[in-house]
Amino acid sequence: MDENDLIIVATFDFDWQAHMAQGLLAEQEIPSTLDNEIFASLYPIGFNTIGGINLRVFRRDADRARDIISKSQL
């Protein structure tokens, strides 16, 4: 396992939730990226069947990121 691998730390049903979580991480200087964000806007009906919007961070930041997101109650 490489500490620079991007891993999923959270999955959201709505883009606003994903962006809020990403903003919380950015405030703590944790870089992140979102997967499936474009699909959510193009295919809002049935979007959750592809798994939602995934928030990914570097493996080295995963524990901190999960802690921040869980405390945010998103």
Q: Residue 21: which of 3, 64, 51 has the closest Cα? A: 64
Query: Higher-confidence residue: 12 or 67?
Result: 67
pLDDT tens figures, 8-45: 999 988 888 999 999 999 999 999 999 876 555 555 55
Query: Higher-confidence residue: 73 or 67?
Result: 67
DSSP SS3 for 10: strand
pTM here? 0.82
Sign of CA dihedral 27, 33, 37, 38: positive
So what CATH class is 6-72? alpha beta
Query: Rounded distance, CA 28 to CA 9, Å?
Result: 15
